[in-house]
Amino acid sequence: MPTTTFDKESIKASIVGKLQRYNGRTIKEASNQQIYRALASTVRDQIMQKWMISRQERKTSKAKRLYYLSVEFLMGRSLYCNILNLVSTDAYQQALKELDINIDDVLKEEPEPALGNGGLGRLAACFMDSLASLDLPTMGCSIRYEYGLFRQKIIDGQQVELPDYWLGNGNVWEMPVMEDACEVHFNGHVDMTEENGRMTFVHRDYNTVEAIPYDMPIVGYDTSTVNSLRLWSARSPKRMNLSDFGEGHYVQAAAEKELAEAISNILYPEDKHYEGKLLRLKQQYFFTSATLQYILRDFKKLNGPDWQRLPEQVVIHINDTHPGLAIPELMRLLMDQEGLGWDEAQAIVSKTMAYTNHTIMAEALEKWPEDMVRTLLPRIHMILVEMNRRLCARLWNHFPGQAERVGKMAIISYGQIHMANLCVAMTFNTNGVSQLHGDILKAETFRDFHAVMPEKFSAITNGITHRRWLMACNPKLTSLINESIGTDWIKDTSLLSNLAPFADDAAFREKFAAIKRENKLRLTEYLKRQQGVTVDPDFMFDAQSKRLHEYKRQMLNALHILVLYNRIVNDASFTMEPRAFIFGSKAAPGYNRAKQIIRFINALSRLIDAHPRARQMLQVVFLENYDVSSAQVLIPATELSEQLSTASKEASGTGNMKYMMNGAVTIGTMDGANVEISQQVGMDNIYIFGMRSDTVLDMYRDGTYNPMTIYETNHEIRQALTQLIDGTLLPEAPGAFQELYHSLLMADWGSLADPYFVLKDFGSYSMAQQRVNQDYADKDKWNRMAVINTAMSGVFSSDRTIREYNDTIWHMTPLHKH
Ligand code: 26W
């Protein structure tokens, strides 16, 4: 494959030349932002060549292509990872050094595309990296939100949300593809007519929104494959014109334009809690319809209208139910546009689409009001009604007379569209994201579906890209690994286990610990610079970073810290290994209890800082605006990883894997992928506590749990809870945590007392923490555990995950030999 080589000298020349041409500046005069753009567009030039070739390769080889549909792709910054995947870090580093440019200062200039909330969006990003690296032809499809997830500031100990206008300085990586623009139609009505004994459906009087695609290149590691991430932007077809202005319609025209363009304006910051908001429904249909139209056009161009072959050429993956309208949309296009009959269309649809579920939390399962769908998407609604009729007829055969059961499985019931039922019923595969989660889907969430269609269910454990989450964020550890076991592990991460014997090598452990120490210093500097906080690098670094949610139990961690504080204050002889507890977490803006927990953590931090003896042993740090970039600093510096979800509630978790890979030891419940982490490292190298998932599920069923008995018998818990409301924590607003306190002790309308068993698991957690404290004092023991964690993390590479998806669900052929 003939490509221009980008050696050190040509990189230097390119950067200097671009600064001259774009900015009329020399390196010395240029700002970091200008240097960033010159550097990034140099890297882009290198990618463009490969991108072109990759596109050609896919077309000429007629390879099956995956479309991965997701409302979120939490990509993080691209520049460094792109250089890494081009296997050009040395050339770029040297070039920059010779130009006297500090690479870290330049990398910081890239705005982070925060087009996701948490795990689901970051998983999609890791998948894109692995798909390209494994040469699997893929297009990721989503929305080009102008505002990503809000930026978080902590002001007076509380979360404040600021807008994230990430496109302010433009986006070096995106390319508009005007020739693929299309229209998406909303509202209006459907005319049915009969022509030659066939019903035809014509959508009339609709409102049009234009969908403009912007493609971003996804570079595979050490391969020529470059895939695309296609982000759709909404544009009003109404252009401003002078006659509008003259006739006084200008304002009205502007308002309509704004309404259409609102569709791709902002990412919904809710993670887990579903609300039936019209704009969200519009977003989902907008990007799904645009994507499906493109898929069919592209297929037709390559294969002609041979729709029976669609499932051979295309697989469409639905990342949770959010893009689930792709199902009726594909039906609509095949029938109304391409003239297929229902049965033919349905057979194609259910051979082409697969679905992954990411949560069992009932409040997160999407249900759209039927009226809303009927008004906004009249033709889609008709299709859903017919799908539902046929599904229910089939289910009646299976469960005769069992109306309640069939109702629970229906696509439409009690005036609501049940997206999860639609996805399970109409796709060929329903996947869970860890072994435990897969089991719970079969036994609980989709129990009845499993009885009817067991062959559809799979469980493929999530993974993370080791290129970003080890090689890019922890270059020193990467070098140590390379020196010790060679570099083959980069393409086959199972080989990381060759590191395990080094756990017993004192000299190796020494080096491993020294790198951890350097990463701790890097985090310390980051915290100092970003938020003016000083942290002692001699403290143990203990971190819990993830979205704030009650089921993730940041509260368990915080209450335990308060108990430690009380032990120190109440007992002058109490000592412990000094520890910095670091939290990184955003709360959904409307999730009050979560915001109270953030306030509690910050109040706790202040309480400890004010106590001369407590602050010798304890520190609480709230890392502001946790995002992909700060995770890349936090995780390599962490020694203890907190994974505290109530067993059964965390579908997988992926932060747990990132920490493990960087040599943190986990304290956690037997939940999600923690179960598999414990199997990899063995029980001696992890701190497992708390109720198991089956016990939790039984406790929910029998409903006898009463946290009040724990409150009454455990005086440490009683004291800590009382401090929440007696003014110890927030003398300026003593009532602020009343609701939080209440939720842990009292049942309320519609909610149990302590619904996530914080008090129930507290004792077990506290004991596990005592073991952590003892073991940390034994440096050899601790470092041995840390090494084992890195060594056994290979299976959690998303390369393994993607291979499994491909073997069991997608069945694509890699563009190159592997
Ligand atoms: C409609 C509101 C809404 C928004 C987002 C509901 C549900 C979601 C996601 C499904 C939440 C999510 O991110 N789930 C997480 O997915 C990760 C990747 O599979 C898992 O590792 C996490 O355990 C799971 O919570």
What would the pLDDT profile of 327-349 be if each residue is shown by its tens digit?
999 999 999 999 999 999 999 99
Cβ of 653 closer than 6 Å to ligand 1, yes or no, is: yes
Please identify, by atom number, the ligand 1 atom nearest to the C-alpha of residue 118: 13
Q: How confident is the model at residue 240 (pLDDT cuts 50, 70, 90)?
A: low
For the chain, the C-alpha Rg in angstroms (whole number) is 27
CB 460 within 8 A of CB 431: yes
Task: Identify the burial level of 181 via C-beta atoms within 10 angstroms of its C-beta, where 0-12 means exposed, 13-18 middle and 19 or more buried.
Answer: middle
For the cut 70, the answer to whether the pLDDT of residue 39 exceeds it is yes
Kindly give the distance from the C-alpha atom of residue 434 to the centroid of ligand 1, in angstroms, as a whole number. 13
CB 135 within 8 A of CB 223: yes
CA distance 87 to 478: 14
pLDDT at 274: 84
Kindly give the distance from the C-alpha atom of residue 230 to the centroid of ligand 1, in angstroms, as a whole number. 21
CA distance 249 to 255: 10
Residue for token digits 């639905």? Answer: 318
Percent of the chain with pLDDT over 90: 94
- CA-nearest residue for atom 16, ligand 1, is 120
One DSSP character per residue, 128-182 reads HHHHHHTT--EEEEEE--SB-SPEEEEETTEEEEE--BTTTT--TT-EE-GGG-E
Residue for token digits 């080589």? Answer: 5
CA distance 185 to 767: 59
- CA-nearest residue for atom 10, ligand 1, is 358
Cβ of 652 closer than 6 Å to ligand 1, yes or no, is: yes
For the cut 50, the answer to whether the pLDDT of residue 1 exceeds it is no
pLDDT at 720: 98
The H or E element spanning position 540 is: strand 540-545
Cβ of 270 closer than 6 Å to ligand 1, yes or no, is: yes
Least confident span in 87-91, 135-139, 234-238, 315-319: 234-238
> What residues are annotated to the active site?
358, 546-547, 552, 654, 658
Q: Token digits for 461?
A: 């454990």
What is the tens place of the pLDDT at every residue in 477-531?
Answer: 999 999 999 999 999 999 999 999 999 999 999 999 999 999 999 999 999 999 9
For the cut 90, the answer to whether the pLDDT of residue 670 exceeds it is yes
Cβ of 671 closer than 6 Å to ligand 1, yes or no, is: no
SS3 99: coil
Q: How confident is the model at residue 2 (pLDDT cuts 50, 70, 90)?
A: very low
pLDDT at 817: 78
The Cβ of residue 41 has, within 10 Å, a number of other Cβ atoms equal to: 17
pLDDT at 241: 63
Comparing C-alpha atoms, which of 207, 206, 272 is closest to residue 550? 272
For the cut 50, the answer to whether the pLDDT of residue 390 exceeds it is yes
CA distance 148 to 113: 7
Q: Token digits for 524?
A: 């310390």
Q: DSSP H helical segments within 358-505, as ranges?
A: 370-376, 378-398, 403-409, 419-426, 435-440, 447-452, 466, 475-485
Pocket test for ligand 1, best of 127, 359, 646 (most atoms within 8 A of CB): 359
What is the tens place of the pLDDT at every residue in 150-204?
Answer: 999 999 999 999 999 999 999 999 999 999 999 999 999 999 999 888 889 999 9
CA distance 716 to 352: 56
The H or E element spanning position 624 is: none
The angle formed by the CA atoms of residues 503, 508 and 512, to the nearest 5 degrees, is: 90
pTM of whole model > 0.75?
A: yes
Kindly give the distance from the C-alpha atom of residue 320 to the centroid of ligand 1, in angstroms, as a whole number. 8
Comparing C-alpha atoms, which of 151, 209, 142, 161 is closest to residue 182? 209
Phi, psi of 417 (to 5 degrees): -95, 120
Kindly give the distance from the C-alpha atom of residue 652 to the centroid of ligand 1, in angstroms, as a whole number. 9
What is the tens place of the pLDDT at every residue in 741-769?
Answer: 999 999 988 889 999 999 999 999 999 99
Comparing C-alpha atoms, which of 411, 49, 8, 410 is closest to residue 224? 49
Please identify, by atom number, the ligand 1 atom nearest to the C-alpha of residue 462: 19
Mean pLDDT, rounded, for 544-571:
98
SS3 718: helix
Cβ of 164 closer than 6 Å to ligand 1, yes or no, is: no
Cβ of 358 closer than 6 Å to ligand 1, yes or no, is: yes
For the cut 70, the answer to whether the pLDDT of residue 60 exceeds it is yes
Cβ of 267 closer than 6 Å to ligand 1, yes or no, is: no
Please state whether beta strands 540-545 and 579-584 pair in parallel, antiparallel, or not at all (unpaired).
Answer: parallel
Q: What is the DSSP code (8-state) at residue 538? A: T
Q: Token digits for 818?
A: 């592997």
Task: Identify the burial level of 94 via C-beta atoms within 10 angstroms of its C-beta, where 0-12 means exposed, 13-18 middle and 19 or more buried.
Answer: middle
CA distance 170 to 688: 46
Mean pLDDT, rounded, for 464-479:
98
How many whole angstroms from its chain centre is CA 741? 30
Kindly give the distance from the C-alpha atom of residue 192 to the centroid of ligand 1, in angstroms, as a whole number. 40
- What are the residues whose beta carbons fall under 8 Å from the beta carbon of 170, sequence distance 6 or more? none
CB 583 within 8 A of CB 544: yes
Mean pLDDT, rounded, for 39-66:
95
Mean pLDDT, the chain, integer: 96
Highest mean pLDDT among 52-61, 186-195, 635-644: 635-644
Mean pLDDT, rounded, for 269-292:
93
CA distance 162 to 682: 43
pLDDT at 355: 98
Cβ of 676 closer than 6 Å to ligand 1, yes or no, is: no
Q: What is the DSSP code (8-state) at residue 750? A: T
Residue for token digits 């209440």? Answer: 742
For the cut 70, the answer to whether the pLDDT of residue 243 exceeds it is no
Cβ of 119 closer than 6 Å to ligand 1, yes or no, is: yes
What is the tens place of the pLDDT at every residue in 702-749?
Answer: 999 999 999 999 999 999 999 999 999 999 999 999 999 999 999 988
Mean pLDDT, rounded, for 557-585:
98
Please identify, by atom number, the ligand 1 atom nearest to the C-alpha of residue 365: 6
pLDDT at 3: 53
CB 322 within 8 A of CB 288: no
- What are the residues whose beta carbons fall under 8 Å from the beta carbon of 9, sequence distance 6 or more? 95
